[in-house]
Chains A and B, each alone.
Chain A
Amino acid sequence: MSVPTHIQIRNLSVSYGDQAVLKDVSLDIPDRRITVIIGPSGCGKTTLLKAMNRLLDSVDGARVSGTILVDGEDLYDPKAEVTHLRKKMGLLSQKPQVLPMSIYDNIAYGPRIHRLGDKREIAAIVERELRSAGLWEEVKDRLHEPAARLSVGQQQRLCLARGLAVEPEIILGDEPTSALDPVSSRAVERRLVDLKADYTVIVVTHILRQARRIADYVAFLYLGELVEHGPAERVFTEPQDPRTRAYMTGEIS
């Protein structure tokens, strides 16, 4: 698939202590598509995602080798500015992690630390992001209430809006619907599909049906190895590797 890419993973290996979690992974992530990383639990999916915005830095004993190039810039270059790299990527975690502040401040947090505007401009960003997350009508009268009072589904949409408020290029989702009810899950899925028009989206999931619903490009990880990757249609209909086939048919999970 010869689409442009600005994320290139080259020979990435990650280990925790002496346990290898990712082994020599190389992958180009296509721009403005949804790339879904699938595989059984413990295969290194989340580690791969965390490596992409250097959240592994705060994990005890994690060692990373290889390179991840974002716009040609090596993420693990000691001179790279982490905060700048992370700003390019919005992260949606398994459990929504709202910040201990009001709904308004949750969205305004990123724009404020990156000085994206004055008070009025930030208010405009907050409204815009809440509207496009479909939350505005639900929360416009209680913007200054704690975000923790929202339902879990609303919290996850708030987290997505918060990530988008810093104008990222890439959206990383780490099983972003696993804590949600089916209706909220679908809402988040639809939102991700809408977003691929403007963003590169990478989602980790262990739900195959979800992968089939949203994926344009699929990467299958098994025991830390990148077994197979390609356009979703091809990987789902005619997987090349026997391990991928076994996973698709539910023999390994």
Chain B
Amino acid sequence: MRTGGRRAIEEGIFKVLMIGSTALVVSSLILILGTVVVKSLPALRLSMLFQTPKGGYYLGKEGGILNAILGSLYLAGGATLFAVVVSLPVVLNINLYARRTSAFATLTRFALDVLWGVPSIVYGAFGFVVMMSLGLRASLLAGVITVGLLEVPIMARAMDEVMRLVPLPLLDASSALGATRLETALKVAVRQALPGLITAVLIAFGRGIGDAASVLFTAGFTDSVPTSLFRPAATLPLAIFFQLGSPVPEVQQRAYASAAILTLIVLAASLAGRALARKLRRNIIK
């Protein structure tokens, strides 16, 4: 056989592989969304959105999951805020204060990568220990801290990737005008990287709001809408977990409805973020 023939076959095999893999990815997205929507249809009612559960810990067939929707929004919102406050200084430090390639920056990146890989149940267990030692009980606050810690490596690494792309001559241009490092960091580097930073915040928010294991022991559960940082808060992932575990088909359908609502929240946040990022992109230096 001519080598040309062999190479054409290689090309053919790889094309099939590429098309197959792409089809798998796209179809699984459609299948997941489809399954959730179809299975949730019998249970999806406005009362799901606007009422708290009737029948104890989601296991009744009546009422809604307003407690979990608000609980998850408060919890993931707080955790994301916490993660921004921690991640941004870390990222500015390893990109603008320490040299990007210094041993310190490399070590910080390594630590973040390892933390990224730590399973969320371990964050849950760690959060539980911290909570106990602070004398807290399962509460919105404990959940915010635990999920915040879970979000930090994800957010910081994603921010780091965009911050590394900020051109050094641009930073020099700001320094040359007599700006301090902080002024250069906040007014030039953050501004240049802003669309990417927003994406990083949203990725972390999406991870945080969807995580069940980290809130299992720390946020607790309740049927009522959260009113205090120091009281337990319901969350959507746990609502799904409990409802899906029920033997009653109607309650299982409610689990899918909860999943559909959670997915919609993540989708809405990500679309809003994209629109915002696009608006902010006009000032970026290419």
Q: Interface of A with B (CB < 8 Å)?
A: 53, 55, 58, 60, 83-84, 86-87, 89-91, 93, 95, 97-102, 109-110, 113-114, 146-148, 159, 162-163, 166
Complex Cα–Cα for A148 and B177 (A): 18
Complex Cα–Cα for A112 and B282 (A): 22
- Residue B56 at the chain A interface, CB threshold 8 Å: no
Is A55 a contact of B175 with CB atoms below 8 Å? yes
Q: What are 21 A-B interface contacts by the 8 Å CB criterion?
A: A53-B176, A55-B172, A87-B178, A89-B176, A90-B176, A91-B172, A91-B173, A91-B176, A97-B167, A97-B172, A99-B188, A100-B191, A101-B191, A109-B187, A113-B180, A113-B183, A113-B187, A146-B283, A146-B284, A147-B283, A148-B286
CB distance from B193 to the nearest CB of A (A): 9
Is B175 a contact of A113 with CB atoms below 8 Å? no
Is A87 a contact of B177 with CB atoms below 8 Å? yes
- Residue B169 at the chain A interface, CB threshold 8 Å: yes
Which residues of chain A come closer than 8 Å to B174, judged between CB atoms? 99, 109
Count of inter-chain pairs, beta carbons less than 8 A? 83
CB distance from A116 to the nearest CB of B (A): 11
Which residues of chain B come closer than 8 Å to A109, judged between CB atoms? 174, 177, 179, 187
Complex Cα–Cα for A146 and B194 (A): 15
- Residue B285 at the chain A interface, CB threshold 8 Å: yes
Is A100 a contact of B177 with CB atoms below 8 Å? no
Is B175 a contact of A58 with CB atoms below 8 Å? yes
Which residues of chain B come closer than 8 Å to A89, judged between CB atoms? 176
Known: A55-B172, A110-B178. A97 touches B285 (CB 8 A): yes
Which residues of chain A come closer than 8 Å to B282, judged between CB atoms? 146
Known: A58-B168, A113-B179. A93 touches B173 (CB 8 A): yes
Which residues of chain A come closer than 8 Å to B167, judged between CB atoms? 97
Is B170 a contact of A99 with CB atoms below 8 Å? yes
Which residues of chain B come closer than 8 Å to A159, judged between CB atoms? 173
